[in-house]
Amino acid sequence: MRSPFTPYVADDARYSKLDYVRTGRSGLRLPRISLGLWNNFGTDRVLETQRDIVLRAFDRGVTHFDLANNYGPPYGSAEEQFGRIVAANLRPYRDELVVSSKAGYDMRPGPYGDGGSRKYLLSSLDASLDRLGLDYVDVFYSHRPDPETPIDETMGALATAVRQGKALYAGISNYSPEQTAAAADALAAEGVPLLIHQPRYNMFDRKPEAGLFDTLLERGVGSIVFSPLAGGLLTGRYLSGKAPAGSRMAEGRWFTEEALSETYLERVRGLNDIAEARGQSLAQLALTWVLRQPAVTSALIGASSVAQLDDSLDALHGAALSDDELAAIEPLAVDGTGL
């Protein structure tokens, strides 16, 4: 663990360690793997561990750090913790960081703490900037479509954030292909391009293949996929058929042991065999698989330790999947597995 009193100096070789690709038709390049601060960066976790993960990621070339207003727990604490790390260690490197945040899901009680209204989105962004200790975020997302708010209003709020200089780019998350096209049109009418979409995508959740990726390619919009490891179901953690102590499943977060059905175990063990034959971990195979998609700019990973972070980043050292390997994966990568 890095001492909080040791001055941080970034690795001079950090930009030689992974690839950066253009986000859609924009000029912004993102690392092929980005770090998300969803589940492991609240005040219920040790700040020094979080600092070690973030700084190790940056030393390995990860420049993009993804947050949202309600990440924690408690809500807002992931932004606060990351803000502390930036203030103490990364402030000299701010121009090299891509920091994103979002608003759209439940954040606070009352009529102005949820949804897609202009009131909620712009006030939430101001609060996020305060927690982060930053003048601007690089990407500000509408975290979800709000059926009760016109999409023109939601996109108009994102455009305002860009014009005010509080965000450099506008993004959306969890939008359908049709909603994505409408959002791109609404932003274009405001003179602001849609930079990026953040959908859930992995071997066990393949919904973006049914039209969303085509829409993104047609529109010149990038994508960064979240949950590429299916919340841990596409790691070696559950191969035994039991939930180990300390896992999300053991703690009752997002999954129960009911997800470890015979069908799931048969498929995940088959995928693990393919990974081992390639000299990869199952998690590395899962990341290699999502990054094969031409529409995918970056894969968003979480990490609770430096070792877990390193394992995921090492996926980028693996060879591209061959046609035979893709054919072997196909019957095992079934949408809805583990649900």
Does some domain include residue 314? no
Does some domain include residue 323? no
Residue-number span of the structural domain to which 87 is assigned = 18-198
Does some domain include residue 307? no
Residue 89, token pair as written in the block = 């260690």
Does some domain include residue 118? yes
Produce one character per residue of 13-46: b if its CB has 16 or more CB atoms within 10 Å, e if not.
ebeeebebeebbebebbbbbbbbbbbbbbbeebe
Does some domain include residue 267? no
Q: Can you name the residues that pair with 22 across neighbouring β-strands?
A: 29
Residue 207, token pair as written in the block = 């919904």
Q: For the segment 21-37, what is each residue's pLDDT rounded down to a tens digit?
A: 999 999 999 999 999 99
* CATH label of the domain that carries residue 132: 3.20.20.100
Does some domain include residue 333? no
> How many domains are contained in the chain?
1
Does some domain include residue 57? yes
Which is it for the CA torsion 278, 282, 288, 292, positive or negative? positive
Q: What is the pLDDT of residue 256?
A: 72
Distance CA 177, CA 179 (A): 6
**pTM exceeds 0.85, yes or no:** yes
Q: Is it the case that residue 250 has pLDDT exceeding 70?
A: no
Q: For the segment 209-228, what is each residue's pLDDT rounded down to a tens digit?
A: 999 999 999 999 999 999 99
Does some domain include residue 166? yes
Q: Is it the case that residue 2 has pLDDT exceeding 80?
A: no
